Structure 1
Amino acid sequence: MGYSTLSIREVTRQIEQNKVFLPALQRKFVWKKEQIERLFDSIMRGYPIGAFLFWELDAKVAKDYVFYEFLKDYDERTPYNRRKEGAFSHEQIIGVLDGQQRLSSMYIGFNGFHKTKNSYAWKSNPNAYPEKRLYLDLLNLPYVTESGEIKLNEAENYPFSFLTEKESQKLERKIEDQIKPCYWFKVGDSLYWDKDEDIEVYYQTLASQIQSIYQDQKTFLEAWEQHQTQVLLGLKTLHARLHDEKLISYFQVRENDLENILKIFVRVNSGGTILSKTDLLFSTVVATWSAGRDKIEKLNKDINQFGKGFKFGNEFLMRACLYLTDLDVKYKVNSFKAENVEKIKNSWEKIQTVLNQTVRILDEFGYSGEHLPSQNALLPIVYHLYKGGQDNDTSKKQMLKYLVHANVKQIFGSSQESVLQDLRRALRSKNEDGTYSLKHTHFDFEVLKTTKLSGGKSLFVTDENIEDVLNREYGAITFNILVLLNPDFRLRDVTFAQDHIHPKSKFNKIELSKAGIPLELHQKYIDLKDTLPNLQLMNGHWNSGKNDKLLMEWFAEQSKADQEAIKLTGLYPNNVSLTFSEFLTFHEKRKELLKEQLYKALDIKKVMQNIEVGEVV
């Protein structure tokens, strides 16, 4: 199906007749008065005003979705469209997928008013928000006369302006430092014209009224007489643009599945403020649950401010709601149909409680937003708590073990929805009444580790995974590993940071040359500086004093007791120099030591050479 066309009057009449609506996935109206005025200028000039995308669907299907009526009267204090209530009055309806702001602007300009706060007025003053309608100054149209012919002056705009009724009655205004006569014609009056309206007859009637009303206004009447031809041309142009010309070029999609419409909507709305699928799904949720926006956004703010800060968003919270209430976790429109949103709404207090509880546990582990490669990895932990599972020290250690494995194995990439479903099935059992309960009240990582996951994924860590981890560079994965290797750290009680053992600032060609490192080894030093064997968790007290000092220099400044603690917590290898010149040896030996410790921590059975933590040379 190709493009079709409508006149502006035809489409505004369809809006008036309740045939055209806005789907819930649309944004609120955001255009300013000046943007509406420029749109009407473009219309008068005959400029293209962009294509529109309309969605035709059966009313019997539309009743299951949320639609809104077009705004006729805009008030910035309540800029929201009214939800369509009750049955549709036509067998088919139209939803506007692309062109909402433009169509709304036309509808407001022709049919309604625009209210915004006057400058310097108090918000509490009810008169601070005057009602303004769109007018066109007929005595100052952008026409020029050349060789007896009236032409459009491209350098000037059509003088559209939103005015109060009192402002529109003024017969003069300031234009470029000159006071000139003016006559403000209410644009909405053009809706009373018929398609075959004789504008010359209309003009004669208007002129007679003006002569009668303003008979004492000599200067104004002289200006009117001088501009008769331009006024008539302006009115004819407005009539033609409104009734005769097919300025609305649209493509119409016939589709009853909102999921397919959502894909189209995301694709065509890629300009300007980009709306993600999450934005659109969120709008369908809050359309059904009016208080949902504030509640979800407040929870998001609360958990993100906890501890060192997190980076959760609406997508995580919305998926968590599906996961916890035993709904399908597929991130699509049907997952958030009205009955599901109602279930989430009724479970909200409990959802809010366990998400706060989970973030507190993460904080105990020393995590913040930058340490979570996948937020979805948290959902099995949240589910365990939601269903009444234990959060004692034993369960927390198992949670940490699971979290590190999930992050190291990166199981939440492709097929993440299926993996989430697999893990939830492993945690729960179905009751006779159709509800679900936990299989075990304690969190048992072994149950999850032995669960067969979609896409051939697994929580088992292999030799190959270990080698990959040891070569990882500074980031979320290395932090996860260091936390696992230091299970006795009370990260919530003491400030710890992931830090370079040999300072990062020394790994450049100038510093390497100063240290006497052979030129042929420079690149090798640089390549290894950010890898796991040169990283450790260090408490804030030690870290603040270390700064960019050479490792050996800083270590020598510490007390004997602190030196022992640094060696043990940092997993420094025995009998290896801490001098910068011996970095490669230190790196190799510590890599072997970390490998052995990882095999123990991750329960991988393999015979390893025994490398003890001991005295530093």
Structure 2
Amino acid sequence: MLQPENQNKKYDFLFADIDSGRIKIPKFQRDFVWSKEQSAKLIDSIIKGFPIGTFIFWKTTDELRHVKNIGNVNLPDPPSGEPISYVLDGQQRITSLYAVRKGVRLTKDGVEINYGDIAINLDLDPDSDEQVVSVDPPAGVHYITVHDLLTSDLKDLIQNHMDYIEKIDIYKKRLTTYDFSTIVINNYPLDIACEVFTRINTGGTELTLFEIMVAKTFDSEQNFDLAERYQWLMDNKNNGKDLEDAGYDTIPASTVLQCVSACLTGQIRRRDILRLNKDQFIQTWPKVTDAIFSAVDFFRSYLRIPVSGLLPYNPLLIPFTYFFYKTNGNPPDHLQEKLLSQLFWWISLGSRYSSGLENKVAQDIDRVNAILRHEKPNYQGEEIRLSMDDLRYRGFSAGDAFCKALLCLYAYQQPCSFSNNSLVKMDNSWLKTSISKNYHHFFPRAYLGRIGIPSWQANSVLNITIVDDFLNKRVIRDKAPSDYMKPFLERNKHLAQTMRSHLIDDLEQFGIWQNDYQTFLNMRGQRVMDELNSRLYPVME
């Protein structure tokens, strides 16, 4: 790797490179956010000869996703085959200078900002302690905009500013002959260039792997922009199937990247993702996204998990996407369905992906390979044996993987409304916290508190049912179960069927009419235990 090269560039040379497309701003940079006040102060500092910091460029023949316009000014395409200098440090400064020079107009929060209005007060001395550059043309003085100063020909300058032409010449020379300090790093690998960017721009906050891969895989000739493809995968504005329509729009970009890497290499480590071949990544993207949809369909249909907000771990999608990638989207047979279901519950109930994710996903991909061969995966030494206390004393938290696994079990039953036996709608936006519109403590915590049950016992995951917002917040509230269930008994002729959809088989036996919380926990706990064990240890026919 070559050492950084120190260079000084004059104003005209610097901006000629922007005008020719040889300097670009990579799209992982933040948007242009400097105000006119900051831009005016920067111009004033240059006029007075103050240092304004160093620009750092990464010179490479790699094509990155880059900024294509600044306000109303379109930036030219880079010259074909020539190396491009991407701005790693100094984006806001160089964009400000360019915006002023071009007289850029851009809109922020519905308000148009005209950088062509930034002006120099010609009645002040260039070396005055006062700031000679103002945001807008100053009233009652003679002025020239910086844009006109840099772009007008001599004839126009003489005609409009005859008495100030010498001072204008001073200002123009100070701007155009200013030595901009630049450092160029030549042909650094992308991940190293991004490391440089991280260290000098964001106080140690690392660029995300997705941001780096967006830059790395960008290809204008193949019309591939990973950021746009990911957004299209999430929501394609009614132009075909997408994850939003499927209720799986909370799947993060990092998980999608890991799905691609798993399908191509069987690994999801950062270094494996960074080493993915660009062309191979682009070519395999459609097949991987098809496999993602197939995995989501399996979650929704066979496991009956209607929305991604219920998934114990987002990376659960990875081994299942791998399965469908390898089968070219063909559905699993009966044996494979059972084995895949077992894998899902084993991962979810064992807190498997809470740590050491990369190695564990690689191991689980090996288990998927066994399932592809119609062999039972080996779980020896990693068996899950649940006890009643594991359920009874597990406090409910919407972010806890074990609790979310139980929510998946509850969702599998297709819970129905206490009021009319209709299916309860579940929505990602309702499932983020433990006080969600969908989560209901069957024995309300306020009621249990009144009869002396401590809060930690009242919040047992076995006390959670999935209901609709209307019943949860407006009908049930803090009433005793025997009180709020009686009207439903009269109103809903299918109430017994409704309650079975909540794994509550009999209101009498489960202690509902007696308001017996301990009996309820024991009976529902056994019901839940039986369901979980049938999934962890299925009977193979």
Instruction: Tell me, yes or no, whether TM beats 0.5.
Output: yes
Q: Is the 8 A contact 1:15 1:70 kept in 2?
A: no
Is the counterpart of residue 141 in structure 1 residue 122 in structure 2?
yes
Is the counterpart of residue 528 in structure 1 residue 505 in structure 2?
no
2-side partners of 1:420 and 1:159: how far apart?
A: 58
Question: Which runs of 5 or more structure 2 residues have no equivalent in the other structure?
Answer: 237-241, 417-421, 426-437
Please name the residue that 1:480 is paired with. Answer: 405
Once the two structures are aligned, what percentage of the paired residues are identical? 13
Any residues of structure 2 matched to 1:424-463 within 5 Å, and which?
424-428=365-369, 438-440=372-374, 446-447=376-377, 450=378, 460-463=383-386
Q: Write the letter of the residue equivalent to 1:43.
A: I
Q: 1:100 aligns with which of 80, 91, 96?
A: 91
Deviation at 1:282, TM superposition (A): 1.6
Is the counterpart of residue 603 in structure 1 residue 533 in structure 2?
no
Please name the residue that 1:158 is paired with. Answer: 133
Q: Write the letter of the residue equivalent to 1:531.
A: S
Any residues of structure 2 matched to 1:59-138 within 5 Å, and which?
62-63=60-61, 65-67=62-64, 74=69, 76=71, 79=74, 82-88=77-83, 95-107=86-98, 109-110=100-101, 114=104
1-side partners of 2:246 and 2:15: how far apart?
A: 56
- CA change 1:78–1:451 in 2 (3 A) is farther
1-side partners of 2:323 and 2:523: how far apart?
A: 40
Any residues of structure 2 matched to 1:151-190 within 5 Å, and which?
151-154=128-131, 157-159=132-134, 175-176=138-139, 181-183=142-144, 186-188=148-150
Q: Write the letter of the residue equivalent to 2:258.
A: R
Q: Is the 8 A contact 1:24 1:67 kept in 2?
A: yes
2-side partners of 1:70 and 1:565: how far apart?
A: 56
- CA change 1:394–1:537 in 2 (3 A) is farther
Please name the residue that 1:416 is paired with. Answer: 357
Can you list the C-alpha shifts for 1:473-494, whole angstroms capped at 9, x where unaligned?
1425324225437855489x93
Can you list the C-alpha shifts for 1:432-490, whole angstroms capped at 9, x where unaligned?
xxxxx9434xxx7x42xx169xxxxx863245898279514142532422543785548
2-side partners of 1:438 and 1:526: how far apart?
A: 46
Q: Which of these two proteins has the greater Rg computed from alpha carbons? A: 1
Question: Equivalent residue of 2:275, what SS?
Answer: helix
Q: Write the letter of the residue equivalent to 1:550.
A: A
- CA change 1:29–1:565 in 2 (3 A) is closer
Question: Equivalent residue of 2:353, what SS?
Answer: coil
Q: 1:43 aligns with which of 42, 46, 53?
A: 46
Any residues of structure 2 matched to 1:180-219 within 5 Å, and which?
181-183=142-144, 186-188=148-150, 213=159
Question: Equivalent residue of 1:536, what SS?
Answer: strand
Q: Is the 8 A contact 1:136 1:159 kept in 2?
A: yes
Q: Is the 8 A contact 2:5 2:183 kept in 1?
A: yes
Please name the residue that 2:263 is paired with. Answer: 324
Q: Is the 8 A contact 2:266 2:362 kept in 1?
A: no
Deviation at 1:539, TM superposition (A): 7.8
Deviation at 1:322, TM superposition (A): 3.0
1-side partners of 2:191 and 2:259: how far apart?
A: 20
- CA change 1:235–1:317 in 2 (3 A) is same
1-side partners of 2:80 and 2:4: how far apart?
A: 32
Q: 2:294 aligns with which of 351, 354, 357?
A: 357
Is the counterpart of residue 298 in structure 1 residue 232 in structure 2?
yes
2-side partners of 1:539 and 1:159: how far apart?
A: 58
Q: Write the letter of the residue equivalent to 1:471.
A: R
Please name the residue that 1:198 is paired with. Answer: none
* RMSD of equivalent CA atoms: 5.0
Any residues of structure 2 matched to 1:231-310 within 5 Å, and which?
232=166, 235-236=169-170, 238-240=172-174, 242-243=176-177, 246=179, 248=181, 256-270=188-202, 276-287=208-219, 289-292=222-225, 293-301=227-235, 303-308=242-247, 310=249
Q: Is the 8 A contact 1:404 1:481 kept in 2?
A: no
Deviation at 1:375, TM superposition (A): 1.6
Deviation at 1:76, TM superposition (A): 3.9
Deviation at 1:603, TM superposition (A): 2.6
Give the structure-2-normalised TM-score: 0.71
Q: Write the letter of the residue equivalent to 2:517.
A: F
- CA change 1:462–1:116 in 2 (3 A) is same
Give the structure-1-normalised TM-score: 0.64
Q: Is the 8 A contact 1:24 1:284 kept in 2?
A: no
- CA change 1:21–1:28 in 2 (3 A) is farther
1-side partners of 2:264 and 2:202: how far apart?
A: 33
Deviation at 1:502, TM superposition (A): 0.5
Deviation at 1:8, TM superposition (A): 4.5
Q: Is the 8 A contact 2:392 2:460 kept in 1?
A: no
Please name the residue that 1:551 is paired with. Answer: 481
Can you list the C-alpha shifts for 1:22-60, whole angstroms capped at 9, x where unaligned?
47554486357836455323433555534444446xxxx
Q: Write the letter of the residue equivalent to 1:290.
A: N
Any residues of structure 2 matched to 1:364-443 within 5 Å, and which?
364=301, 365-386=304-325, 387=327, 388-391=329-332, 395-428=336-369, 438-440=372-374
Can you list the C-alpha shifts for 1:224-276, whole angstroms capped at 9, x where unaligned?
2xxx5xx64564355345435x553x666677332232233234332799953
Please name the residue that 2:14 is paired with. Answer: 12
Question: Which runs of 5 or more structure 1 residues have no equivalent in the other structure?
Answer: 57-61, 121-128, 162-173, 193-205, 215-219, 430-436, 453-457, 606-617
Query: How many correspondences in the alignment?
Result: 498
